[in-house]
């Protein structure tokens, strides 16, 4: 890295590996290839083991303990750990602590908004508006989220720019998938998501009642809704057709086994798993909410949220139209590349007019 490279600290609370974390694993090395010096500043929740994330991270990292949501000492720790020309925050904890720390240091601040969670439009919007005043630029990951951020949260439109997530290849395997009980001849509906109410896996389970007996639902991911989803499958007498496999080491292998990808989310910031399915050439059935229409375009089948019958009808149609997947693959490659994402992010940094400085030495992991 050149001595005068722009040093950008990306701050993120570490509580699991979801869309924003996976985004950073792709974005940060792409920024490094374009002359930026990225460093990841992880606010580590001790209740979660982030070793998988840090093992996959290919840029320097500063790890700061963050055991509590409200913690004045975290601001002190951040002030000691931030050595950068630009601070770039992701999600609420980083926006709050990282944003204040950046401004106390007189450092330029960029904030990326990753979701349209309804809490952002509730009372918290008043806090976010104040944090928005601190940011020099705000990035939203879709145009839908940009509108939400401006119209419902109240961030000034002139600060906000859309930069889509980028992805060029399917996730690399970190091991071999364990044996499973999915019948060899079954038609597989695949979902990859956290098991939360937001993701609508309950709707997909209910939709199975409307689909042929040889159709099964495989869900990759973990979350607090697992017991409720297992009960629902039993109550609807489809438990033998629902496979909640948790986190698996080789997601791409399941993308290869599936016939259709289903994403019945009630709201969605982006849908990185949907983009992976598109790259795999799978037909996609998703809900007509948030950013999903923007992501899949005319090639995806869209249904209303929380409507099992509509989801079942669209899924049955998609199973008979495998050619839909190839159109989605072409769209993913053309519209959502890593190069496009990284170059537009660098362009945002360029608008800040920041002069670089040689950073002091800091410990990394």
Domains 6-166+338-350 and 187-335 share a fold: yes
Which comes out higher in pLDDT, residue 336 or 171?
336
What does the domain layout of the chain look like in residue ranges? 6-166+338-350, 187-335
What are the distances in angstroms from CA 297 to CA 107, 304, 335, 357?
38, 16, 10, 43
Enter the pTM of the model. 0.84
pLDDT in tens, 29-83: 999 999 999 999 999 999 888 888 999 999 999 999 999 989 999 999 999 888 8
Residue 132's pLDDT band (cuts 50, 70, 90): confident
Contact 363, 61 (CB under 8 A): no
Question: Which listed CATH number (3.40.640.10, 3.30.720.210, 3.40.50.2000, 3.40.50.700) goes with 6-166+338-350?
Answer: 3.40.50.2000
CATH topology of domain 187-335: Rossmann fold (3.40.50)
The span from the CA of 256 to the CA of 74, in Å, is 43
Higher pLDDT, 104 or 3: 104
- The whole-angstrom separation of Cα 106 and Cα 12 is 20
Distance CA 217, CA 201 (A): 10
Closest CA relative to residue 35, chosen from 10, 61, 1: 1
Non-local CB neighbours of 93 within 8 Å, separated by 6+ positions: 13, 43, 66, 69
Cβ-Cβ contacts under 8 Å for 59 (sequence gap 6 or more): 28, 29, 32, 38, 39, 40
Check if the beta carbon of residue 274 is closer than 8 Å to that of residue 197: no
């Amino acid at each position: 890295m050149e001595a005068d490279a722009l040093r950008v600290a990306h701050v993120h609370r570490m509580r699991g590996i979801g869309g924003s974390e996976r985004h950073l694993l792709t974005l940060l090395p792409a920024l490094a290839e374009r002359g930026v010096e990225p460093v990841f500043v992880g606010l580590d929740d001790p209740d979660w083991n982030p070793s998988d994330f840090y093992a996959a991270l290919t840029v320097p990292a500063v790890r700061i303990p963050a055991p509590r949501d409200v913690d004045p000492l975290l601001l002190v720790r951040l002030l000691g750990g931030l050595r950068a020309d630009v601070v770039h925050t992701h999600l609420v904890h980083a926006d709050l602590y990282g944003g204040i720390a950046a401004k106390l240091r007189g450092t330029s601040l960029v904030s990326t908004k990753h979701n349209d969670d309804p809490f952002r439009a509730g009372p918290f919007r008043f806090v976010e508006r104040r944090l928005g005043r601190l940011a020099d630029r705000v990035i939203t990951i879709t145009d839908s989220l940009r509108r939400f951020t401006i119209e419902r949260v109240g961030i000034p439109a002139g600060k906000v720019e859309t930069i889509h997530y980028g992805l060029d290849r399917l996730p690399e395997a970190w091991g071999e998938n364990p044996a499973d009980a999915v019948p060899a001849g079954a038609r597989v509906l695949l979902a990859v998501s956290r098991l939360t109410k937001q993701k609508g896996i309950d709707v997909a389970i209910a939709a199975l009642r409307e689909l042929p007996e040889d159709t099964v639902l495989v869900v990759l991911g973990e979350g607090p809704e697992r017991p409720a989803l297992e009960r629902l499958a039993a109550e609807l007498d489809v438990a033998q057709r629902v496979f909640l496999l948790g986190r698996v080491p080789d997601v791409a292998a399941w993308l290869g086994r599936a016939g259709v990808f289903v994403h019945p989310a009630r709201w969605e910031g982006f849908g990185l798993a949907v983009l992976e399915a598109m790259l795999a050439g799978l037909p996609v059935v998703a809900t007509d909410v948030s950013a999903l229409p923007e992501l899949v375009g005319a090639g995806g089948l869209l249904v209303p949220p929380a409507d099992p019958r509509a989801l079942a009808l669209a899924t049955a149609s998609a199973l008979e139209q495998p050619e839909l997947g190839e159109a989605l693959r072409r769209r993913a490659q053309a519209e959502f590349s890593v190069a496009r994402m990284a170059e537009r992010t660098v362009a945002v940094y360029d608008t800040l007019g920041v002069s670089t400085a040689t950073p002091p030495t800091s410990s990394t992991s």
